[in-house]
């Protein structure tokens, strides 16, 4: 089944986010709540989104020592969101304990949130990775390495660019999720993203999910922009 495009609700507060969501009336969406909105509004906003029937990716990109991430995940598991993430750079042990925390923290009768790991951010270019992270390899090698590590730690998938999705499937499994931000419609500004792909190409490249922010949230007509993204994404 093709997954709905995930809309990144990168808004400063609940009022602005709710105003944006009014464009979609009763449509059930898959939305992403990131640091800005969560730090401002906390779990009350998550509960409201759930009450509206939306699926939620809580994007807090945890990256800390294994025990801290374990304890934080135990708490996040109680929020009832569908997906959460960590940075793969936190390491194998951290990812393993993140999963354990989620498993232990998920209330009885609820499903454990999907856990994915960010490989290399889609804003990172190969040149930047090599000079700033001192990784003396190609960017794809680093992404594939992190994907293998996340797979071995038992995670459900990774965040990567669609450009890397097919190769990740080959070295992990077809079912291992490839959640891909850095999505732009033809001709859109790339803003701060480096590795960008259109919805149509993301599908061809075997991404399992696309995450779309500004191409929808900053469009003159967000509903029309969403429908356009969805159409391209669902077309094979």
Ligand X SMILES: O=C(O)c1cc(=O)[nH]c(=O)n1[C@@H]1O[C@H](COP(=O)(O)O)[C@@H](O)[C@H]1O
- Point out the residues that are catalytic: 59, 61, 64
Calpha distance 199→5 (Å, rounded): 9
Nearer to ligand X, 88 or 97 (CB): 88
One residue of 4, 5, 7, 8 binding ligand X per CB under 6 A: 8
Stretch that binds ligand X, among 43-51, 67-75, 126-134, 209-217 (CB under 6 A): 209-217
Cβ proximity to ligand X: between 62 and 107 the closer is 62
CB of 121 to ligand X, least distance (A): 4
Q: Give the number of other CB atoms < 10 A from CB of residue 235.
A: 11
Q: Which is nearer to ligand X, 87 or 169 (CB)?
A: 87
10 interacts with ligand X by CB under 6 A: yes
Residue 201 annotated as lining a ligand binding site? no
Q: Are 209 and 3 in contact (CB under 8 A)?
A: yes
**One residue of 106, 169, 172, 193 binding ligand X per CB under 6 A:** 193
- Token couple for 212: 């779309």
Q: How far apart are CA 182 and CA 198, in angstroms?
A: 9
Q: Is 214 in the site for ligand X (CB under 6 A)?
A: yes
Specify the residue for token string 């290399």: 120
Could you say whether residue 87 binds ligand X (CB under 6 A)? no
CB-closest chain residue to ligand X:
213
CA distances from 74 to 77, 87, 107, 110, 112 (A): 5, 17, 10, 13, 11
Single residue of 139, 147, 159, 165 touching ligand X by CB under 6 A: 159
Q: What is the dihedral of CA 89, 207, 7, 148, to 10 degrees?
A: -20
Residue 122 binding ligand X, by CB under 6 A: yes
- Residue pair 85/38 in contact by the 8 Å Cβ criterion: no
- Is 63 annotated in a binding site? The answer is yes
H-state helical runs in the chain: 14-21, 35-51, 66-76, 92-105, 126-132, 139-152, 165-171, 199-204, 214-217, 222-234
């609820």: which residue's tokens?
A: 110
Query: Quick one: which segment of 93-101, 135-143, 208-216, 224-232 binds ligand X (CB under 6 A)?
Result: 208-216
* Binding positions for ligand X, 23-52, rule CB under 6 A: 32, 34
Angle between helices 92-105 and 139-152 (to 10 degrees): 40
213 binds ligand X (CB under 6 A): yes
| Contacting positions for ligand X (CB under 6 A) | 8, 10, 32, 34, 59, 61, 85, 118, 121-122, 159, 181-183, 191, 193, 211-215
Please state the residue numbers annotated as binding site for substrate.
10, 32, 59-68, 122, 184, 193, 213-214
């Amino acid at each position: 089944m093709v997954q709905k495009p995930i809309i990144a609700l990168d808004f400063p507060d609940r009022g602005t986010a709710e105003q944006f969501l009014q464009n979609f009336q009763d449509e059930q969406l898959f939305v992403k709540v990131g640091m800005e909105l969560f730090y401002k509004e906390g779990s009350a906003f998550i509960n409201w989104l759930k009450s509206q029937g939306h699926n939620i990716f809580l994007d807090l990109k945890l990256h800390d020592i294994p025990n801290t991430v374990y304890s934080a995940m135990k708490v996040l598991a109680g929020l009832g969101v569908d997906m959460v993430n960590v940075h793969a750079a936190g390491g194998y042990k951290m990812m393993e304990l993140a999963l354990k925390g989620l498993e232990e923290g998920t209330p009885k009768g609820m499903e454990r949130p999907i856990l994915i790991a960010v490989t290399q951010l889609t804003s990172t270019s190969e040149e930047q990775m090599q000079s700033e992270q001192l990784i003396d390899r190609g960017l794809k090698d680093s992404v594939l390495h992190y994907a293998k590590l996340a797979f071995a730690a038992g995670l459900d998938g990774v965040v990567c660019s669609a450009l890397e999705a097919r190769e990740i499937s080959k070295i992990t499994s077809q079912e291992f999720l490839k959640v891909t931000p850095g999505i732009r419609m033809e001709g859109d500004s790339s803003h701060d993203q480096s590795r960008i792909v259109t919805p149509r190409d993301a599908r061809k490249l075997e991404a399992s999910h696309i995450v779309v922010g500004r191409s929808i949230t900053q469009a003159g007509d967000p509903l029309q922009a969403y429908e356009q993204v969805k159409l391209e994404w669902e077309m094979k």
